[in-house]
Structure 1
Amino acid sequence: MEAIIQQFFNIEIMIKALPLVLKGLGVTLLICAVVIPLGALGGLFAAIASVSKNRAVRWTAIGFVDLFRAIPPLVLLIFIYAGLPFAGIQISPFVAVAVGFFLNNSAYFAEVFRAGILSVPKGQTEAARSTGMTQGQTLFWVTLPQAVRNVLPDLLSNVVEVVKLTSLASVVSLGEMLHAAGLVRSLTYNASPLVLAAGLYLVLLWPLIRLISRFERKIDT
């Protein structure tokens, strides 16, 4: 038991690792601050395009969503960071992570938004159009507010997944939280920094998970 505590819950090593892990947490939050809004915006446009009456627009959006939902995010990230240089395109680790996660998250956000749009009764759209609203006004003032409310728990769940996905950034040596914890682990030959990082992920995500559960209960009632 003592060996397990020393290997996984060594307070002394955790204290020494804390500044570097917190610096990595800052990078993690920066990635989230860039990727989540961009992914949600890209997903919203893709969702609107996927329900368009224009067949070319609709199938282009569906193809985009299916493609980037099918490609594993780790494969996509490695391709962008390590593959594009063979085509003469050099990008930084942060840009590679931002682009890769944007493409992946846009596809998943698109499916959530599309489900929300389709959940709004068609009669409400027709009623709004009958009052003289344009198609765009009906979409942004009638359909989208109800769509977002209907799928809010799913949108928040996607946000949680994005935060967890940032751990993949360590593959391209971007100094996010897991990468920082891994560096300390390699120097100390001790897993306590990884446990510290896991604890910080828990502190960061648990309130959001409880918020999702609360919204789900409200919708069920």
Structure 2
Amino acid sequence: MTPRPGTDKPDFPWWLIAIVAFTGLFIFQALDDPIYQQVSVKLIKGVKITVFVTLVGFFLASVLGLLLAVASLSRYQILRQIARFYTEVLRGLPILVILLYVSFVVAPGLVQGWNYIAEHIGLDPIRTRDFTFLWRAIIALTLGYSAFISEVFRAGILSVEEGQVEAAKAMGLNGWQRFRLVVFPQAIRTIMPPLGNDFIAMIKDSSLVSVLGVLDITQIGKVTAAGNFRYFETYNVVAMLYLTLTVTLSLLLRKLETKMRGKYP
């Protein structure tokens, strides 16, 4: 909970009460409406894909983002320039454009490259359609969000005072030990809030995979609405599912941030 200005006491979460009441009212109405029941049964199947795309994409983006952050702070200029080039280019492109480019340009190119190599080393070639749109979408989200996440990690690492690092060097700690024991425990307090925001943003941006026909919540909603012409009920359920996911994760992340502040004061 966010503290009131000038005091350590948090505001009472009236916003959460309002959301819970609204959700309860929606569920109560849905239980008495057969249209809502039919739509909900269909759309819940898409939650699994949405969660899978988000979790895998965010994990890969975090790993790549950390590597980019370390490269951007490297002593070697070539690594710094490559990391900055990557970050600026990917941050300057809309996620939808990255999604389409990866799906219809990069993926076929990778397949052609693999087939060229396979031909010379005696392996079986693969077809472009064997590279599923689900994984094309995950790769696109990974590339797009890694650029933003790298800046989060870079800012967190730079927030640690240089004196702390110099003291760790004086104690004889190597680079990995300094990062694990000194830099990261202090940087995590700066990293966690924006990293959590990126995670929630990726849940919402995962809806863009519907343009590729991936059967997430949004795509199933589009197909369902096109079939029953009940757009109001269908997109009410779509909105409620995304709201439930984002609010729940937001609360969990706030609790995690509180624990992290207690662990790394």
- TM-score interval, smaller chain: 0.7 to 0.9
Q: What's 2:149 paired with?
A: 109
Q: Cα gap change, 1:168/1:54 in structure 2, threshold over 3 Å: closer, same or farther? A: same
CA distance in 1, matches of 2:164, 2:106: 47
CA distance in 1, matches of 2:81, 2:185: 25
Q: What's 2:244 paired with?
A: 203
**Residue range with higher mean Cα deviation, 75-84 or 182-191:** 75-84
Cα offset for 1:94? 0.7
For the Cα contact (< 8 Å) 2:156–2:187, is it kept in 1? yes
Cα offset for 1:85? 6.3
Q: Cα gap change, 1:202/1:83 in structure 2, threshold over 3 Å: closer, same or farther? A: same
For the Cα contact (< 8 Å) 2:107–2:136, is it kept in 1? no
Q: What's 1:13 paired with?
A: 35
Cα offset for 1:120? 0.6
What 5-or-longer segments of structure 1 have no aligned partner?
1-8
Match of 2:167 among 127, 130, 134: 127
Q: Which has the larger radius of gyration?
A: 2
Counterparts of residues 72-221 of structure 1 (less than 5 Å): 72-84=94-106, 87=109, 89=111, 90=128, 91-191=131-231, 192-211=233-252, 215=257
The two structures have a TM-score, normalised by structure 2, of 0.74
What 5-or-longer segments of structure 2 have no aligned partner?
1-29, 112-127
CA distance in 1, matches of 2:74, 2:107: 36
The letter of the residue matching 1:134 is: N
Does residue 23 of structure 1 match 2:40? no
Match of 1:32 among 47, 54, 66: 54
Does residue 42 of structure 1 match 2:58? no
The letter of the residue matching 1:180 is: I
CA distance in 2, matches of 1:101, 1:86: 17
Cα offset for 1:136? 2.3
The letter of the residue matching 1:184 is: T
Q: How many aligned positions are there?
A: 212
Cα offset for 1:19? 2.1
Q: What's 2:85 paired with?
A: 63
Question: 1 or 2 for the larger relative contact order (CA 8 Å, sep ≥6)?
Answer: 1
Does residue 53 of structure 1 match 2:93? no
The two structures have a TM-score, normalised by structure 1, of 0.88
Cα offset for 1:139? 1.7
For the Cα contact (< 8 Å) 1:157–1:212, is it kept in 2? no
Cα offset for 1:36? 1.1
Q: Cα gap change, 1:135/1:27 in structure 2, threshold over 3 Å: closer, same or farther? A: same
Q: Cα gap change, 1:46/1:210 in structure 2, threshold over 3 Å: closer, same or farther? A: same
The letter of the residue matching 2:236 is: V
CA distance in 1, matches of 2:209, 2:220: 11
1:51-78 CA-to-partner distances (Å, cap 9, x unmatched) read 1111001111111111111111101111
RMSD (Å) for aligned C-alpha atoms: 2.3
